[in-house]
Structure 1
Amino acid sequence: MSGVGPVEPGEGTRVRIASPAPRPRRGPLAQHFERHRRAALGVLLTTAVLAGSGYLYVTRPRPEPPPPPLHPNQVTAVAYLNPRAAEAGTDRRSFSFDVEMTVESDHPVTVVRISQPYAGLSVSSSPRTPFRTKAGSPRKITITTRVTECGKVPRNVGLPFLDVTLRNTRAIQNHSFILGSRYAQDLSRALQVACSNGLG
């Protein structure tokens, strides 16, 4: 025999083909999976998609929170309008005047308290405090000052101001509003009338 190649069987011999190894016996769970393989793969795929979506939702960028509102004294203005004419028979120790309050903000401001810096004066307002002002809507307020003790009020007021306590969702603040020279003149005149002729 010469040449290279596989050995061929001779006459009368048979080629024995090895039978495949017996399959290992499968348990009931494997048999069940084999029967429902497509459904199980669908469930696994759905679970993976939902888990990925959940991860993306949880790790998504958060929108920036809206900025907090400004402090109430930064958005509130008070302007002196005019003195109110005294009615006949009214107390000469009282002086009433109107102011207009405006709030330039999306958030309302509450007026908690209104006062004067002078110990000899008491102050009341209409509407009575506390009251809320609407954003962007001017509000007219009537303020009445009453002389309680002439010795504790100046005869000639130079630059009077109105102390107002304001509150919004950001803060509560005390602020002094200067109402201008016309208010100073009207208040000085009213104090002179209130404390003249031996009153107080």
Structure 2
Amino acid sequence: MTGIGPVEAGADTLLRPPLAPAPPVPAARRRTTAALAALAVTALCVPGLTEPRPPAEAPPPWPTQVIDFRYGGATPAPHGDGALSFAVLLSGEEDEPVTVEDITQPSVALSLTAEPEPPFTVRTSSAQKTIITVHVRDCGKVQRNAGLPFLDVTLRNKRAIQQQSFILGSGYPDDLTAALQRACPHNSP
């Protein structure tokens, strides 16, 4: 076909009867169909939302739960000035290393030093010997009986930083009392 003109019907296009209009769908049926479609989509999505997630990794234990402080006995004082030097045995109990940030004691009459000097790290399942030396700063304020002396220790690991007071026991109070009486003989009973 060439030229300009109206479009004419092709062969066999006028022989069919016209289609009847579709009857209207009731509103209730539309709502039911929409609800079923929404339910189908939800059924496809929910299994992904309700699948169990792998459990979260447990946090590491607190530093004070995985380190042990034990009195290791008196050792010769490095300067011979009446100070008490003693060993503390530190050991880790878990796979988490713990860093000893600081070691102090509460008496204003005493000071202490530690070797190795904090901070130092105590490794897993290993014992580390630390030498602590207690120096008398003021004999007038020294207690005559050490009673239950303790060390304040600051510990750190991946989980937290904690301060803990350790009572060493097993000979430490007696050794400390004897050293204090030697350093300050006028305070002896």
- Report if TM-score (shorter chain) is over 0.5: yes
Aligned to 1:3: none
Aligned to 1:76: 67
Q: Within 5 A, what are the aligned runs for 1:46-57?
A: none
CA–CA separation in structure 2 for the residues paired with 1:156 and 1:181: 16
The answer to whether residue 179 in structure 2 is matched with residue 190 in structure 1 is yes
SS of alignment partner, residue 55 of structure 2: coil
1:175 paired residue among 161, 164, 187: 164
Deviation, structure 1 residue 74 = 1.3
Q: How many residue pairs are counted as aligned between the two chains?
A: 146
Asked if the contact 2:77–2:133 (Cα under 8 Å) also holds between the matched residues in 1, the reply is no
Unpaired runs of at least 5, structure 1: 1-18, 22-55
Q: Within 5 A, what are the aligned runs for 1:32-111?
A: 61-86=52-77, 90-92=80-82, 94-111=83-100
SS of alignment partner, residue 157 of structure 1: coil
The answer to whether residue 138 in structure 2 is matched with residue 149 in structure 1 is yes
- Map Cα deviations across residues 118-145 of structure 1 (whole Å, 9 max, x no partner): 1111111011000111011111100011
**Percentage of matched positions with identical amino acids:** 48
Aligned to 2:5: none
CA–CA separation in structure 2 for the residues paired with 1:81 and 1:178: 13
Q: Output the TM-score relative to the length of structure 1.
A: 0.65
Q: Output the TM-score relative to the length of structure 2.
A: 0.69
SS of alignment partner, residue 77 of structure 1: strand
1:163 paired residue among 132, 152, 158: 152
Aligned to 1:9: none
Q: Which amino acid aligns with 1:137?
A: S
Deviation, structure 1 residue 60 = 6.1
Asked if the contact 1:95–1:145 (Cα under 8 Å) also holds between the matched residues in 2, the reply is yes
Deviation, structure 1 residue 20 = 8.9
Distance 1:187 1:60, change over 3 A: same
Unpaired runs of at least 5, structure 2: 1-10, 14-46
- Map Cα deviations across residues 70-96 of structure 1 (whole Å, 9 max, x no partner): 111111110001100246x6212x210
Q: Within 5 A, what are the aligned runs for 1:128-147?
A: 128-147=117-136
CA–CA separation in structure 2 for the residues paired with 1:20 and 1:101: 102
- Map Cα deviations across residues 139-193 of structure 1 (whole Å, 9 max, x no partner): 1100011011112221111111111110111111110111114100000000001
CA–CA separation in structure 2 for the residues paired with 1:195 and 1:79: 27
- Map Cα deviations across residues 100-124 of structure 1 (whole Å, 9 max, x no partner): 0111111110000001121111111
Asked if the contact 2:71–2:170 (Cα under 8 Å) also holds between the matched residues in 1, the reply is no
Which of the pair has more CA radius of gyration? Answer: 1
CA RMSD of aligned residues (A): 2.5
